[in-house]
Amino acid sequence: MSGTLNRPPTTEAEDVHEDPDLTLQRIINAKLVESGEKELLKELLRERLIECGWSDEMKKHCLSFARKNGSNNVTLEDLINAITPKGRASVPDSVKEELLQRIRSFLA
Amino acid sequence: MSLSDDENDSMSLNSQLPAHLFGDLLDSIIIDVASECHRAARLGLDRNLELEEEEMRLSAEARAMVVDATNNGEVNGKYIVDIFGQTHPSIANDIFECMNCGQSIMAGRFAPHLEKCMGKGRKARLKARRSSRLAQNRSARGSSVSVHSQYSSTSQLSNNTPVRIMKKMNDFGERFSAEISKPIHLVNPLVP
Amino acid sequence: MNMSSVRSPYTVPPPCNHLAGYKLKNGLSGYNSLQESLRIAPSGKLAIFRPDLADSSCSSCNGLRTSLYLCLICNSVSCLDHTLSHTRSCLGHEIVVDIDRAELYCGSCRDQVYDPDFDRAVMCKYIREVLPRGRKGFEGIGIVSDRSSKRRRLVVPVLDSDFSASNQLIRPGYQRAKSCHPLGLRGLNNLGNTCFMNSILQVLLHAPPLRNYFLNDKHNREACRSTSADHFCLLCNIDIIFSAVFSGEMSPFSPAQFLYSWWQHAANLASYEQQDAHEFFISLLDGIHQKEGKCKGLNKDGRDCQCIAHRVFSGLLRSDVTCMSCGFTSTTYDPCMDISLHLDTNNPLSADSPNKANKSNSSSFSNSTATLIGCLDLFTRPEKLGSDQKLHCQNCQERQDSVKQLSIRRLPLVLCLHIKRFEHSIVRKASRKIDWYLQFPFSLDMDPYLSSSIVRKRFGNRIFSFEGDESEISSEFEIFAVITHSGMLESGHYVTFVRLRNLWYKCDDSWVTEVDEKTVRASQCYMVFYVQKMLYCKGNEELSCIPISSQPDAFLPVVGCC
């Protein structure tokens, strides 16, 4: 409970193989976070998804799912599972392309 | 709820990485939405979707039915009788005296009469402008000008929007009035 | 005066056993120490940020995961899978925090959980961080103790008559006795392209609070006449129409005296050419306001004005402009007599219109109908101001990108929603009418658009009392009139549907006919009028009937047309 940072017990420790791809991904991810670019990208994506109606659609989907299954019973996991397939599939191509473009230019 | 990556490792990293990062961002937003909705559902902040959906359903039903409906006491868009069993002429034919000039006038032709009678309206304004250019001191419509400016200064009654619309609509008025300046009974029959 | 309890804005869900156990053992210290790590984005989005979390990976598997959780007991950071195993192996380490969302999560229940104390800790951080820099930016947040806000009272606005408790619900199956119609139905003769005026007059005649005002003789014609020389004022002329329409007389009435008086008032609108009903509505209310203001020496700027136009139609809009750089919010309030709503031209239904230029909107959400609710959502949605509209931020002392959001601080008794169907393009120098169908509800809950709801949502719906929660006016509205516009931009026709005792009547100039509610639902609305539900119910009780048994045979041959 104090401020000390304990590593969690490694009861189910997997052997952590250092995949070179994964290492690169981590480095890039850290760069994205540090530079604040990740937050900007997420904000941009969020904005675009609101503009095109994707967000409203997902919310509607969530809330009707919650209603069907009882607002007090439905778990966060249920909701995520309920909207993930549709959410991933229904991003407009133009939005995806715009984001990919920005990610590529960051990586370049 | 693990949205773990299902990408193919054999693909080259360069083409894979942006798509992978995009997938991460998207999944993160999906969780944001789900988390927000979870909170709304648990706190009872989700609005009355039942009511909204019921209203949507009734409207959709109504639209589907009204397409071919000829009820409501109308036949081919023409009224038969009103709720009191009365019928009415297409141009109201009550006769009364104009409160401006005292002349007898038919109700359905009162507005165009009054416009001329009071020296108002677009044509009158144009005329006023012309005449005021010719003889500025002899404008017969000085009063209307002052009322106009007084009016425009009190538009804070409402928010700004209507004022903007007002200006916009006046512009239309000017734009389109030329097309409808024919005598009233020749205008599109839809026009009252 | 009727007092009844109103729904609390939120319910506090009971904590799970693990959360209750955690708090019993650890108190609030975990929450409080977490405050230091909370980071607030200018947009209002919250996250936990600590330098040691910067590489966003799970300490157990090093995998990159979308969500990471911080254990409130041992401060370990794990992905979901390892959070769950951590919970299983360490008793008492169930409660973790989603670091991207600053939400509590119970690893044992495997669900997001809620605690008012946690939310308060979060909100206190907001207030501490932003308040000293921009006191004004938090006008919407008042620190109200939760206890006081749980029990709320509803004060029904009182206008002209004392309302007894009226919890009567609308009876859907109610049918009028076939022998009578509600009083006040009377056609208005068209005086030559004056349907724009007739359509608005029919609405005003049936707006419950306005009807009460005039029928209870609140505008005294005799008294008025003695003060204003020899002609009737605008209100007198409206009063005359009320008398004529509620006299029981059935032949159409010619509002000629009114038109004359109106043109004297608004000289710039004096023309028998086509007019916009909404434009007329606004300037008529303005006329009433000016007239009453002059008589009674009322407040000129309209704020808290007690004239009948303001008492019935005036609401208060709140506008928040938030700096995207520092999060400073400046708030302004403006009185409004109506709300003008944009039809969402990004709506896919506009595909048939010449507005295909939108790049990112050709999505798969195309089979939805445009709705009034959608328009209200759009109206209250945060709007990023363009780079050409950079505003000077008082806090940064610089021009910054900002986001503007509108909400309703105070609802009017009668809510007029105007749909902007007439679009003027400066680029194309042309106007057009947007003639899509727009779905509108008969019962409308305005709660989601109130400032308290909007501001609460902006701060992540935290369990916290916001100023305005104690609103004294119910947010439930019932429709009572719809104005439709048919035809073209330059030569169309206005018709009003009015709802009396849950029956609908079509007022088309001199013609008043009874219509099916489906006809109304399917109509192309241009202006929609709602009244507070309590006033609607009360108004229905008060309407008296007139017999129609003495009327001529109801099946006359077709004569009339228009």
CATH, residue A43? 1.10.246.140
Asked if B151 and C268 count as a contact pair (C-beta separation under 8 A), the reply is: yes
| Interface with B, mutate which of C263, C421, C509 (most B CBs under 10 A) | C263
Residues sharing a CB contact under 8 Å with residue C328, sequence separation 6 or more, in sequence order? C130, C133, C134, C137, C322, C393, C394, C395, C396
Answer yes or no: is A7 within a domain.
Answer: no
A97 contacts chain C (CB < 8 A): no
Q: Is residue A99 part of a domain?
A: yes
pLDDT band at C543 (very low <50, low <70, confident <90, very high): low
- The predicted structure's pLDDT at residue C273: 58
What chain A residue is nearest to C51 in terms of C-alpha separation?
Answer: A34
User: pLDDT at position A37, please?
Assistant: 87
- Chain A neighbors of C90, CB-CB under 8 A: 8-9
Q: Confirm whether A100 is domain-assigned.
A: yes
Lowest mean pLDDT among A32-36, C74-78, C125-129, C508-512: C125-129
Q: In this predicted structure, which of B89-103, C284-298, C487-501, C509-523 has the lowest mean pLDDT?
A: C284-298
- Please list every residue in chain A whose beta carbon sits closer than 8 Å to the beta carbon of residue B26: 45, 87-88, 91
Instruction: Determine whether C233 is an active site residue.
Output: no
Residue of A76, A84, A91, A97 to mutate, interface with C, max C Cβ within 10 Å: A76
Q: How is residue C367 written in tokens?
A: 């089979």
> Which range among A69-83, B174-188, C233-247 shows the weakest confidence by mean pLDDT?
B174-188
- Model pLDDT for residues C473-507, shown as the tens digit of each residue: 688 999 999 999 988 776 789 999 999 988 999 99
Residue A33's domain comprises 16-107
> What is the pLDDT averaged over residues A50-78?
89
pLDDT at C560: 26
Q: Which residues pair with B95 in a beta bridge?
A: B106
Cβ contact A71–B41 (<8 Å): yes
Which of A20-24, C10-14, C224-228, C502-506 has the highest mean predicted lDDT (pLDDT)?
A: C502-506
- pLDDT score at B17: 85
| Residue C379 confidence class, pLDDT cut points 50, 70, 90 | very high
DSSP states of C177-246 as a string? -TTEEETT---B---SS-HHHHHHHHHHHH-HHHHHHHHTT-S-HHHHHHHSTTS--HHHHHHHHHHHHT
Residues near B186 by Cβ (< 8 Å), separated by ≥ 6? none
Let me know if C206 is a catalytic residue: no
What tokens appear for C388 in the block? 């050409």
| Cβ neighbourhood burial of C488 (10 Å; 0-12, 13-18, 19+) | middle
Secondary structure of residue C283 in the 3-state scheme = helix
Q: CB–CB of C147/C133 below 8 Å? A: no
pTM: 0.77
Are residues C254 and B110, on separate chains, in Cβ contact within 8 Å?
yes
Mean pLDDT over the full length of chain C: 77
pLDDT recorded at residue C272: 56
The shortest CB-CB distance from C257 to any of B24, B99, B120 is to B99
Q: Is the pLDDT of residue C329 over 80?
A: yes
Please answer whether residues A36 and C345 qualify as being in contact, where contact means their C-beta atoms are separated by less than 8 angstroms: no
Q: What is the C-alpha to C-alpha distance for residues C35 and C33, in angstroms, rounded to an integer?
A: 5
Residue A46 falls inside a structural domain: yes
- Residue A30 is assigned to a structural domain of this protein: yes
- Residue A59's pLDDT band (cuts 50, 70, 90): very high
- Tell me, what's the pLDDT at C275? 79
Residue B52 has a pLDDT of 86
- CA–CA separation, C489 vs C75, rounded Å? 65
Residue B148 vs residue A80, higher pLDDT: A80
β-bridge mates for residue C71, sequence order? C96
For chain C, which domains are there?
A: 9-179 (3.30.40.10)
Closest partner CB to B59 (pick from C190, C439, C554): C439
| Chain A residues with CB-CB distance to C62 below 8 A | 16, 22, 26
**What chain C residue is nearest to A45 in terms of C-alpha separation?**
C360
Report the b/e string of B37-46 with b at 16+ CB within 10 A: bbbbbbbbbb
pLDDT of residue C110: 93
Q: How far apart are the first and last CA of chain C?
A: 47
pLDDT confidence of residue B129: 54
Give residue C301's pLDDT band: very low, low, confident or very high (50, 70, 90): low
Whether residue C187 is predicted with pLDDT greater than 90 in this model: the reply is yes
Single-letter code of the amino acid located at C60: S
Report in angstroms the alpha-carbon separations of C507 from C196, C198, C483, C495: 12, 9, 10, 6
DSSP state of C408: E
Chain A contacts of B22, Cβ < 8 Å? Answer: 96, 99-100, 103
Q: Which chains touch A (3 or more CB pairs under 8 A)?
A: B, C
Is residue A67 situated within a structural domain? yes
Size of the A and C interface in Cβ pairs below 8 Å: 106
Higher pLDDT, C456 or C304: C456
Residue A20 located in a structural domain: yes
What is the mean pLDDT of the segment spanning C322-331?
A: 86
Asked if residue A10 belongs to a domain, the reply is no
Closest Cβ opposite residue A59 in set B3, B13, B37? B37
Confidence category of residue C274, pLDDT binned at 50, 70, 90: low
Q: What residue type is assigned to position C108 of the chain?
A: S
B26, B42, B50: residue with CB nearest A45: B26
pLDDT of residue C51: 61
Number of domains in chain A: 1
Higher pLDDT, C1 or C560: C1
A47 contact C CB<8A:
yes
Catalytic residue among C106, C195, C236, C416: C195
Query: What is the pLDDT, as a whole number, of residue C154?
Result: 34
Q: Which residue has the higher pLDDT, B184 or C392?
A: C392
Given a cut of 60, is residue A56 above it in pLDDT? Answer: yes
Whether A98 and C363 lie within 8 Å, measured CB to CB:
no
Residue C163 pLDDT level (bands cut at 50, 70, 90): very low
Copy the structure tokens of residue C255. Answer: 């509002």
- pLDDT at position C124 is 83
Assign C64 a pLDDT band (cuts: 50, 70, 90): low
Average of pLDDT values for C457-484?
82
Q: Which of B84, B115, B150, B156 to probe the C interface (max C CBs under 10 A)?
A: B84
The distance of C517 to chain A (nearest Cα, Å) reads 27
Residues of chain B with pLDDT under 70: 1-15, 47, 66-77, 120-192
- pLDDT beyond 80 at C430: no
- Per the model's pLDDT, the better-predicted residue between C63 and C443 turns out to be C443
User: Which range among C131-135, C278-282, C485-489 shows the weakest confidence by mean pLDDT?
Assistant: C131-135
Record the tokens describing residue B138, joined without a space. Answer: 């002899």
CA-closest candidate to residue C349, choices C334, C362, C331 = C362
3-state secondary structure of C70: strand
Question: Which one has a higher pLDDT value, B121 or C350?
Answer: B121
Which residue, among C515, C519, C507, C511, has the nearest Cα to C559 in the 3D structure? Answer: C511
- Give residue C442's pLDDT band: very low, low, confident or very high (50, 70, 90): very high
Residues in chain A: 108
Phi–psi pair at B5, nearest 5 degrees: -70, 135
Report whether A45 contacts A58 (CB < 8 A): no
Closest CA–CA distance from residue C296 to any residue of chain B (Å) = 16
Both tokens assigned to C217: 């003789």
Question: What pLDDT, on a 0 to 100 scale, did the predictor assign at position C479?
Answer: 97
* Nearest CA distance, B101 vs chain C (angstrom): 12
Arithmetic mean of pLDDT, C7-31: 86
Nearest in space to C115 (alpha carbons), one of C75, C146, C88, C81: C146
